Amino acid sequence: MPGDSQTLSLKEAVLSAIFEEMEADERVIMMGEDIGAAGGVFKQTEGLFARFGAARIIDTPISESAIFGLAVGAAMTGSRPIVEIMFGDFITLVMDQLVNQAAKVHYMSAGGYSVPLVLKTGIGVGGNLGPQHSQSLHAWLAHIPGLKVVMPATPADAKGLMKAAIRDNNPVIFAEDRMTYNLSGPVPAGDHLVPLGKADIKRQGADLTLITISRMVHTALAAAETLAEKSIDAEVVDLRCLAPLDMETVLTSVKKTGRALVLDGAHLSFGITGEIAASIGEAAFDYLDAPVMRLAGPDHPVPYSPALEQFSVPGTDQVVAKVDEMLG
């Protein structure tokens, strides 16, 4: 019934969305490594094979390039594929099909073809998986016209954004931080949709705006609670999507608070923090009481060592310290 909800992990919420969309539309198929009877390496596709069978849940060989090439062709000829790329690092293996084909076919065919597919992948630091399984390449992808980039932070958003991504007629990157897979929260029952390209205010505040996405939303919220103990009232903006990017919500918040700190779990240099900070400077300079500041991971490969890995993504203490620096 409308208004009903259930408690799900983020991983379960995404799986719920896929189940519902596959039940509703026989054109939706899924392909990837170990997604069939095994239920996925992280059990993120558990139950799909038993329900929909091998014709729609396609267990592929270990060849990301072949998997994604198959998906692009299927999307152009009437299917709506979801492609599971186990680690976001392996997107590097599909860049030609993704950047030069999927992102451009609609434009190059003058609208004659669409490529309605979802590339679903896990990103982020954590689990001591080393430098080749811990990257977050969303800034690369958001730079490509023709791609949409979605990064949920909560189970409710994850379900609603996945359903919207599957229904979209463009290629959508759906990047989940692996450290949020087991994060639980209320998820609306039924046909819950979250529009792509619409940010969400996760915490109202008056003194400064913390702008971020994905896992870092939870870091920002924790920092906001610590700052509240110092009588600093922080607003937290969850971008939810990088492309399209909802700068209207960001600018409305910054014009209200007069200060902005942009956070990201990826590397600092040439990343999303610089793009957002520059956009704020261009559109809201007269409203700022202080320079826009940025905080993200250091510019080095993610270490395998647990003792070092923890410093590869900003934590709550670093956010609080940065805000203290901003406020003098």
Place of tokens 């969400």: 200
Contact 135, 127 (CB under 8 A): no
Task: Delimit the domains of the chain by residue range.
Answer: 5-188, 200-327
Contact 307, 279 (CB under 8 A): no
* 300 catalytic residue (yes or no): no
Model confidence pLDDT, tens digit, residues 27-60: 999 999 999 998 888 888 999 999 999 999 999 9
Give the other-Cβ count within 10 Å of 293's Cβ: 17
Model confidence pLDDT, tens digit, residues 157-213: 999 999 999 999 999 999 999 999 999 999 998 899 999 999 999 999 999 999 999
Q: pLDDT confidence of 99, banded at 50, 70, 90?
A: very high
Q: pLDDT confidence of 4, banded at 50, 70, 90?
A: confident
| Cα(314)–Cα(108) distance, integer angstroms | 41
Model confidence pLDDT, tens digit, residues 211-229: 999 999 999 999 999 999 9
* pTM score, whole prediction: 0.95
Query: 5-188 belongs to which CATH class?
Result: alpha beta
- Which of 265, 317, 328 has its CA nearest to residue 294? 265
| Cα(133)–Cα(297) distance, integer angstroms | 16
The domain over range 200-327 is classified in CATH as 3.40.50.1100? no
Per-residue confidence (pLDDT) for residue 328, from 0 to 100: 82
Q: Which residue in 133, 192, 218, 267 is the catalytic one? A: 133
Instruction: Reduce the DSSP state of residue 216 to 3 states and report it.
Output: helix
Domains 5-188 and 200-327 share a fold: yes
Instruction: Reduce the DSSP state of residue 97 to 3 states and report it.
Output: helix
| Cα(188)–Cα(195) distance, integer angstroms | 15
Tokens of residue 77, six digits: 């000829």
Mean of the per-residue pLDDT values of the chain: 96
Burial 313-326 (b: 16+ CB within 10 A, else e): bbebeebbebbeeb
Give the other-Cβ count within 10 Å of 247's Cβ: 18
Contact 142, 150 (CB under 8 A): no
Instruction: Reduce the DSSP state of residue 285 to 3 states and report it.
Output: helix
Amino acid (1-letter code) at residue 28: V
State how beta strands 234-238 and 200-203 pair: antiparallel
Model confidence at 16: pLDDT above 90:
yes
**185 Cβ partners below 8 Å, 6+ apart?**
7, 8, 10, 154, 155, 156
| Cα(283)–Cα(313) distance, integer angstroms | 29
Model confidence pLDDT, tens digit, residues 142-153: 999 999 999 999
Per-residue confidence (pLDDT) for residue 3, from 0 to 100: 64
Tokens of residue 113, six digits: 């073809």
- Chain-centroid distance of CA 177 in Å reads 7
Q: pLDDT confidence of 245, banded at 50, 70, 90?
A: very high
φ, ψ of residue 303 to 5 degrees: the values are -70, 155
- For the chain, the maximum distance between any two Cα atoms, rounded to a whole number of angstroms, is 61
Contact 304, 130 (CB under 8 A): yes
